Structure 1
Amino acid sequence: MTLWLFTSWVLLLLLLQLCFLHHHAGATSSSNETDRLALLEFKSMISDDPLGFLSSWNDSAHFCLWGLSGSISPHIGNLTFLKQLHLYNNTFRNSIPPEIGRLRRLQVLRLSNNSLSGEIPSSISGCSALADLDFGKNNLTGSIPPELGLLNELQFFNVDRNFLTGNIPSSFGNLTLIQEIRVSDNQLSGRVPEALGRLKNLEYFYAAFSELTGSLPASLSNATNMVQLQLQVNNFTGSVPSMASSRNLLRFSIGGNSLGGEDGGGDLSFLSSFAGARNLEALVIDTNNFRGSIPEQIGNLSSSLLLLDFSTNQIPGSIPESIRNLVSLQWLWAHENKLSGTTILSTVANVPSLVDLRLYDNQIPGSIPPSIGNLSNLTVLRLADNRLEGEIPADVENCRRLINLDLSNNNLSGIIPPQIMGLSSLSIVLNLSHNHFNGGIPVEVENLKTLNSLDLSHNMLSNNIPSSLGKCGSLEFVRLQGNLLQGQIPSTLDLLKGIQLFDVSSNNLSGQIPRFFENMNFLQLLNLSYNKFEGEVPASGVLKNVSIISVIGNDKVCGGLAELNLPRCSFRQPKKKLSYKWKVVISTSSSVAFLVIVASCLSVLWMKRKGKRNIVSDDGSDIRVSYQSLHKATDGFSETNLLGAGSFGSVYKGVVDINGKDTTIAIKVFNLQRRGASKSFMAECEVLKNIRHRNLVRIVTVCSGVDYQGNDFKALIYEFVVNGSLENWLYATESVDDPPRSLNFRQRLNIVIHVASALDYIHNLCETPIVHCDLKPSNVLLDEDMVAHVGDFGLATFLQPSVVNLSSDGTSSSSIGIKGTVGYAPPEYGMGNEISTQGDMYSYGILVLEMFTGRRPTDESFIGGLNLQKFVNNVLSEQQSTIREVLDPILFTELSLLRNSEEDVVSIFKIGVACSSDSPQERPSISEVLTKLNKLLA
């Protein structure tokens, strides 16, 4: 539906332009009739019109008043006054009509992101005024017509992502005004024409992912205005020419070719020619056959350089110390080479801005220097598959932003420093496998609450598996095989609900196999082989699938699935007579339990008769707290215990005695002097006493009384959620007491699913549908397992007025006049429309976009009608744009690690854009969204 709306809007603008030209050119009635007939023929080719936009295409009104949408007709060639034709981002099919070549006034022709097939008509060369030609993202075949070299006014040419064959026409050397050429991701072959070196105005040349051959033409360096040159993933050979004349270069990428080799072309001296490109940001030469050493002049490159990629070559030797001059360098990738210098790690430790350091699969010897801790901005450190030895320095703890640490396949020894387990930022991988570590797994492993994959396999670790491992609630992959671990599998591991792989094979573990593995619904492999387990093998739940579990090499196990070929279990337990003492205990307990049940039933009946419920704890006990106890628990509501402040009050942290146990709680104290605060308190009480869900903040009790000055006092007491609000994680600031935090891609996906589950519950599963009315990151809290809980129902609304009447006039709109927060409240609320679940959907859409862009909806850059939704939607719509233009930069590194992650992010952005549509009718329901998100998660 959105697609057709977009098409109609764009073509309507073109139609208005056509009418404008007719009016100001003094067009005759004959030319009017020609255009009218052409548009009717255009209409006749449309096979689907779900919204009826073409109903106005008739003789009852002048064609200048028609609305447009549809496909391409040959009669488009009759619109001789047309200057711009925008039909991109649709589903147009079949071929491009050659009749377009008649449009001699046409300046812009954009047909990208459709399903057009066939060849590019050579007649397009007849559009002599054409400046912008965009056929990207279609199914076009055949060659690029050499006749297009006659388009003397052409400035932009794009045929990316088609199935074109043949060569890049040498006639393109005649396009003297051309600024951008995009021919990437086709099946083009042959050499890059030397004639392109004549194009003094050429700034962007993209010819990646084709099948181009030969050497790189030296004439390319004559394109002195070149800004981006991307020729990666082709079949280029030989040496790289000097680029000394290209002083405007921002990005140079020739990775994924066959450049270099044993014929002398492996020399890296060409790197020195980039010294004049003072704005260079990315230099990528990975996956070639370069064999020369990195020149000392590497330090003369641009101080603006962000990315330097030498990876997957045959580069020997060391990294020059001059690299420390690259003060802006964030990504240094030199993995999969033959680097062997003993000073490499101490050298790169002097590059202060490094964010991502990859030196794995080289021949680097020696120890890891303590100076590696100087890299405080580092998020990725991968030194696997080298010849490193000695202990890991405790200084690594200073790399407080690390999300990925891989030191596997080295000769490292000693104990695993507890400081590494204290790096709570680790969220993707901690891999220390295939080394010689001894001792136990540090109990500090409990700090890795956001870690996805833990690999300590093939070391010499001993002692028990620490029970604290159960606190790592985000773990999906646990590899502990090939060690000397002993004892039983801790029962606390049943908290690892998201486990997909758990491998403890080839250890000395004993005891029975825990049955909680049966309930790990995501489990794909449980390898317990070659240990000393005994007893019955679980065979229910996910373990019904024989391919999931391996228990070979355990001589004392039995039962399980028949396919495991284990002996049958034979348990004989002697019957024991109960002593007189135990008989009395059991009898008394039974009597007490019976009386409690009777009393509970009578209490429920009495409460129903009273027609109201108190808020009670989950175990059914009625909890009461006084103002005095809350005052004491918060040190007099001191600022040191203040967690945050909102529209109607403040939230404090405190510790109170609940049922004989000190319990940490969050106390929301209402400022009753503020208009609407009392109603907000009542609204939240009314909502929260009726709902229970794992993704909603749990209320413990309420306090309503007077303070020490005799003023009314009202507070809500919540379960304390240890990881604070989502807002604090999205916009975390570094301090001594609060290390920097960030959320990885999987965690963000999980959180949006958790929030969607909460909305699905209140919208669809409650007896009376509830609208939250104030969904935003500060109202989403994260527990120790990074599970999201939606809170603050102070603005919530029941959709049926007959169920709850909170306002004095007996209505049940919002309990107060405010209907949300600026940036998150849907536009229809500002026009006085009634509250609806679709309003929550708008807020949810904004929250999703905010989480994956890292931008607030009130960002100062959104001016002139631009907002967060339009910002993302524009990038999704523009063929030339990349998703990284809107993605939170923190996720850049992870995208390069996760397969298909860019496609997943696009899907998530599309969900956010759809949910935050200006039109409530176009927003999907939360159930539809939840289905799509769960498919992504799977």
Structure 2
Amino acid sequence: MCSRRHPGRVVSLNVSNSNLGGSISPAIGNLTFLRTLDLFNNRLSGEIPHTVSRLHRLWFLELAYNTLAGEIPVGLSNCSNLVYLSFETNKLHGGIPSGLGSLTRLQVLYVGENGLVGRIPPSLGNLSELASLSLFQNKLEGPIPEGLSRLRYLRFIQAGRNSLSGTIPHLFFNISSLQYFGFASNKLHGRLPQDAGRHLPELEVLLLGGIGNNFSGMIPASLSNATKIQQLGLAKNRFEGRVPPEVGKLCPVSVQLGSNMLQAVDEADWEFLRYLTNCTRLEVLDVDDNKLGGVLPSFVANFTGPMKTLLMSKNPMSGVLPLAIGNLVDLEVLEFAENNLHGVIPEDIGRLHNLRFLSLESNLLSRGIPPSFGNLTQLLTLSLSNNKLSGSIPENLGSLQKLTYMNISSNRLTGAIPGVIFGLSSLTDSLLLSDNYLSGVLPPQIGNLKHATTLDLSRNNLSGEVPAALGDCASLVSLALDDNYFTGSIPPSLAKLRGLIMLNFTKNALSGSIPLELSKIHGLQKLYIAHNNLSGAIPQVFEDSSALVELDLSYNHLDSEVPSRGVFANMTGFSAIGNDGLCGGIAELKLPPCEVKSNSQKKLSQLKILLPAIGTVIVICLSILLFMLFLRKGRKKGLDRINATENQMLNKYPRITYLELFEATDGFAPTNLIGVGKYGSVYKGNLPVTVTAARNLVVAVKIFSLQQPGSSRIFMVECEAMRQVKHRNLINIITCCSSMDSRGNDFRALVFDFMPKYSLDRWLRPRSNEQTHKLSLTQLLNIVIDVADALDYLHNSSYPTVIHCDLKPNNILLGSDWTAYVADFGLAKLVGDSMDQSNLNAGTESTIGIRGTIGYVAPEYGAGGQASVEGDAYSFGVTLLEMFTGKAPTDDMFVEGLTLHSLAEAGLPDKISEIIDPDLLHNELNGKDSSILNCLASVVGVGVSCSKDNPSERMNMKHAAAKLHRIRDASERTVGIH
């Protein structure tokens, strides 16, 4: 556009949205009469020419949405007529020139989404006409200049996703023209003024959440005075509810929960929420990941505005979901994950016809999934995992034809998986149903999941054959069917899953050979088919797979030669133990060399197989004869006294005889004795192929001393507990024996996986004759998290609930990879409607006495208190403190009122180095002292919170496990703990 008075003078150049490439010519500086330059949304690159500083008449400069690099020209301060200046969404670096503060007519300054560094120039506070300022998503640091809070015409300020630090100047909350106030995802801290909303009548958006910020204190109820508020984002801070002052005077102890968390005592704590429900324009409320405690008030369902997004996850709130939640008919996103909500999921949720995202995972919700969920036809994401939901999966979930993600894992769901679930062709993300009690066979409709990337049905009671239709799930990246009861062979049709990266069939009853076709999945990285009945040779073609990095074939019946290239040469990624027929391979496998046999050798081999078989038959016949003799002499015992619990155990697991266990342990030889306890002894043994699916499986055999009073009942309790529970950090039972020994006496035994590193106790207090070493911080942290996860499962995800009652280092076993397993459920108490309490737990106190071990047992147990999950939390806390301080709770130093708990509590947080195991400090402190000490202080803090004398003050295991996971995640980033 040229001037009307002077046609030869260009006054405006607008080539926005023109797909222009290349750089901006320096000749632009020759257009000295230019007032408007708009190059918005092109593909321009290179630097901004410094010649633009010649354009003294320029008032509008728009360069946003290009790929311009270099720095902002310092000479722009010469363009004193600029009113609008935008460099947003480019690749600019360097700092913001302080000279921009001299552009006194400037009303709009957008420099967001670049790579700008340094501080916000205080000179920007001189831009008295400024209405909009965008500094979003750069690398700016330092404090917010006080002068910006004096810009009386400021309507829009967005400085999120930087590294700004310090506090927000309070004068910002007096800018009556402010409409958009965004400082999310920085490093800001402090408290909001309690009258924050009183002087912001025009405020529509307030964003202070996101990773990095650390605001605390109360959420001001005065924010409701901003009657035009539409979006309030305060997530990932430390905001609390309001506790009335008079409550703190009356019961100052009761308002403390964990690490300075405020526990709400009545609905006054939620005063801010009560008033916000009157904001008629409010659409988004995000208070995720704060410290809002107490009971969720029912008026959360009373919002009068068009509430579309309600996010309240990761808070210590309890209570129930309001029955009237269905009144919020405009809701599109509803999230209450990772709280302590209990009770049922309201049927009323089915009225939220606009709902697209629903997350209630990691709570204590029980009973069934409401059938009304079938009305949520707009739903894209459904997450109900880690609750206590029971019953079957409703058939009408099949009407959710837009669903892309479904996670209802880690509940107590039973029955068959409805075929309509597999008919949801909209599932383009994940279908996660693991860790339930689902049964039945997989229907052919499973092949309709053509777009799902993850299918996890692991750790259920599914049976039947693996359907060939799985090969039609063309988009699968991860397929997990482990820990079920699948039979038959692995379908070759899985070779059609060309995008598959992980395939897991571990712990099933699959037979036949490994299909050669699996080698055609060229991107397959992880293949787990251990603990099955597979036979034949390992396909040699797997050694040519460059993608395969983990292959677990252990505990099958495989034979022939092990390849030596590719994944087979990687001792950390390949395992084939428990397959006695294998030979060859790399030297580290220590397998016998493969031999080429002649015809005479083959006949000799056949004879060698035949003779032991005949011998086995003879031994069995003699055993039967001896058994009949004992019957004639009237010495029959044991089997007549097996109760319903034992029968269920024997039916679920393979039978084993006394003779087989006798042979497996070399006659219960002293050299195989692992440990001795009050109620029995544990031996190391090798089970033959006739007993398990694996050959020469190394096991631990726990034999009960039935002469000891209460021992028989201990066996029954442990049988029932092990039959009910199933978790990766609980010791795995292989089989059991309820029979008679060679003398006709009652005989009871349980057979578990052998733990090559024995118990945690041996590593905390090494014996003089054992070759052990001090565990590292990494190992200790991983072990304590494993134990916390196990107890969290027993308390919150198992049905019936299991209270261990005897947690201590002796009962924490360690696998070859240092994974921890909680063991010894002999004193466990099961709480639930499905068990016969009178049959199992009656009278246990009379025979067992105080449940637990001195030093680890909860104080209330000694006073006659009932077993509780709080008692387990106490034992866990003491065990944790022992692990990290190196001091047992029964140490001689703990006299005159001093306990392990009080010692640890006195060291928090500033004296942590004085209470931690000196050897651990010596090994770990290597140039990262503060980070290591912070990590240790956080871990010890969990132990102190769990081991308080008052049961009501103890941290529960769900919170303990979650906090330890967060500590480890933070430590991975700061000190490299993995």
TM-score tier by shorter-chain length is 0.5 to 0.7
Contact kept? 1:281, 1:302, Cα under 8 Å: no
Contact kept? 2:322, 2:346, Cα under 8 Å: no
Deviation at residue 359 of structure 1 after TM alignment: 0.6
AA partner of residue 128 (structure 1): T
Match of 1:906 in 2: none
Deviations 1:717-749 (A, max 9, x none): xxxxxxxxxxxxxxxxxxxxxxxxxxxxxxxxx
Where structure 2 has 5 or more consecutive residues not aligned to the other structure, the ranges are 14-19, 242-259, 569-573, 577-581, 585-593, 600-978
Task: State the alpha-carbon separation in 1 of the partners of residues 558 and 106 from structure 2.
Answer: 80
Contact kept? 1:534, 1:556, Cα under 8 Å: yes
Of 201, 223, 238, which residue of structure 2 is paired with 1:224?
A: 201
AA partner of residue 287 (structure 2): I
SS in 2 for 1:552: coil
AA partner of residue 583 (structure 2): P
SS in 2 for 1:373: helix
Deviation at residue 263 of structure 1 after TM alignment: 6.1
SS in 2 for 1:567: strand
SS in 2 for 1:535: strand
Deviation at residue 282 of structure 1 after TM alignment: 1.3
Match of 1:926 in 2: none
Task: State the alpha-carbon separation in 2 of the partners of residues 350 and 158 from structure 1.
Answer: 40
1:238 matched to 2:240: no
SS in 2 for 1:508: coil
AA partner of residue 240 (structure 1): I
Match of 1:389 in 2: 390
Task: State the alpha-carbon separation in 2 of the partners of residues 310 and 126 from structure 1.
Answer: 44
Deviation at residue 550 of structure 1 after TM alignment: 1.7
Of 294, 300, 303, which residue of structure 2 is paired with 1:301?
A: 303
Of 217, 241, 253, which residue of structure 1 is paired with 2:233?
A: 253
1:153 matched to 2:135: no
Cα–Cα, structure 1 residues 381 and 20, in superposed 2: closer, same or farther, change >3 Å? Answer: same
Match of 1:507 in 2: 508
AA partner of residue 104 (structure 1): S
Task: State the alpha-carbon separation in 2 of the partners of residues 65 and 217 from structure 1.
Answer: 43
Match of 1:103 in 2: 79
Task: State the alpha-carbon separation in 2 of the partners of residues 553 and 356 from structure 1.
Answer: 43
Deviation at residue 520 of structure 1 after TM alignment: 0.7
Deviation at residue 142 of structure 1 after TM alignment: 2.9
Contact kept? 1:172, 1:195, Cα under 8 Å: no
Task: State the alpha-carbon separation in 1 of the partners of residues 274 and 167 from structure 2.
Answer: 25
Deviations 1:372-417 (A, max 9, x none): 3232332222111111122223232333332222111111122222
AA partner of residue 567 (structure 1): C
Task: State the alpha-carbon separation in 1 of the partners of residues 32 and 406 from structure 2.
Answer: 68
Deviation at residue 347 of structure 1 after TM alignment: 4.0
Deviations 1:187-221 (A, max 9, x none): 11111121112222211111111111001233431
Match of 1:177 in 2: 153
Cα–Cα, structure 1 residues 51 and 174, in superposed 2: closer, same or farther, change >3 Å? Answer: closer
Deviations 1:74-132 (A, max 9, x none): 55444321112223345555543443223221111112334444433333222111011
Where structure 1 has 5 or more consecutive residues not aligned to the other structure, the ranges are 1-15, 40-48, 575-938
1:339 matched to 2:319: no
The 5-angstrom pairing of residues 18-37 of structure 1 reads 20=3, 23=6
Contact kept? 2:349, 2:372, Cα under 8 Å: no
SS in 2 for 1:201: coil
Task: State the alpha-carbon separation in 2 of the partners of residues 573 and 554 from structure 1.
Answer: 27
AA partner of residue 239 (structure 2): L
Contact kept? 2:538, 2:558, Cα under 8 Å: no
Deviation at residue 237 of structure 1 after TM alignment: 0.7
1:198 matched to 2:178: no
Match of 2:467 in 1: 466
The 5-angstrom pairing of residues 595-614 of structure 1 reads none
Deviations 1:276-303 (A, max 9, x none): 3222221111111111332222222145
Deviations 1:733-774 (A, max 9, x none): xxxxxxxxxxxxxxxxxxxxxxxxxxxxxxxxxxxxxxxxxx
Cα–Cα, structure 1 residues 319 and 452, in superposed 2: closer, same or farther, change >3 Å? Answer: same
Cα–Cα, structure 1 residues 116 and 573, in superposed 2: closer, same or farther, change >3 Å? Answer: same
Deviation at residue 367 of structure 1 after TM alignment: 2.1
Task: State the alpha-carbon separation in 2 of the partners of residues 53 and 428 from structure 1.
Answer: 44
Match of 1:567 in 2: 583
Cα–Cα, structure 1 residues 197 and 554, in superposed 2: closer, same or farther, change >3 Å? Answer: same
Contact kept? 1:122, 1:147, Cα under 8 Å: yes
Contact kept? 1:150, 1:174, Cα under 8 Å: no
User: Mean Cα displacement is larger for which, 215-224 or 84-93?
Assistant: 84-93
Deviation at residue 490 of structure 1 after TM alignment: 1.9
Contact kept? 2:459, 2:482, Cα under 8 Å: yes
Deviations 1:405-452 (A, max 9, x none): 211111112222233223333332211111112222223212322222
The 5-angstrom pairing of residues 261-410 of structure 1 reads 262=260, 264=262, 267-340=269-342, 342-410=343-411
Contact kept? 2:36, 2:60, Cα under 8 Å: no
Task: State the alpha-carbon separation in 2 of the partners of residues 438 and 573 from structure 1.
Answer: 49
AA partner of residue 283 (structure 1): L
Deviation at residue 457 of structure 1 after TM alignment: 0.6
SS in 2 for 1:371: helix
Match of 2:838 in 1: none
Contact kept? 2:392, 2:416, Cα under 8 Å: yes
Deviation at residue 328 of structure 1 after TM alignment: 0.9
AA partner of residue 202 (structure 1): L
Deviation at residue 535 of structure 1 after TM alignment: 1.2
1:188 matched to 2:164: yes
Task: State the alpha-carbon separation in 1 of the partners of residues 142 and 333 from structure 2.
Answer: 36
User: Mean Cα displacement is larger for which, 369-378 or 232-241?
Assistant: 369-378
Match of 1:685 in 2: none
The 5-angstrom pairing of residues 33-52 of structure 1 reads none
Match of 2:110 in 1: 134
AA partner of residue 555 (structure 1): H
Task: State the alpha-carbon separation in 1 of the partners of residues 140 and 24 from structure 2.
Answer: 35
Contact kept? 1:365, 1:389, Cα under 8 Å: yes
Contact kept? 2:403, 2:426, Cα under 8 Å: yes
Match of 1:588 in 2: none
Task: State the alpha-carbon separation in 2 of the partners of residues 478 and 263 from structure 1.
Answer: 41
AA partner of residue 330 (structure 1): E
SS in 2 for 1:188: strand
AA partner of residue 225 (structure 1): E
Cα–Cα, structure 1 residues 230 and 50, in superposed 2: closer, same or farther, change >3 Å? Answer: closer
Deviations 1:149-170 (A, max 9, x none): 2222111101112222222223
Deviation at residue 253 of structure 1 after TM alignment: 0.7
SS in 1 for 2:464: coil
SS in 2 for 1:165: strand
The 5-angstrom pairing of residues 435-454 of structure 1 reads 435-454=436-455
SS in 1 for 2:461: coil
SS in 1 for 2:540: coil
Task: State the alpha-carbon separation in 2 of the partners of residues 465 and 572 from structure 1.
Answer: 37
Provide the TM-score with structure 1 as the length reference: 0.53
Task: State the alpha-carbon separation in 2 of the partners of residues 476 and 138 from structure 1.
Answer: 35
Task: State the alpha-carbon separation in 1 of the partners of residues 318 and 363 from structure 2.
Answer: 9
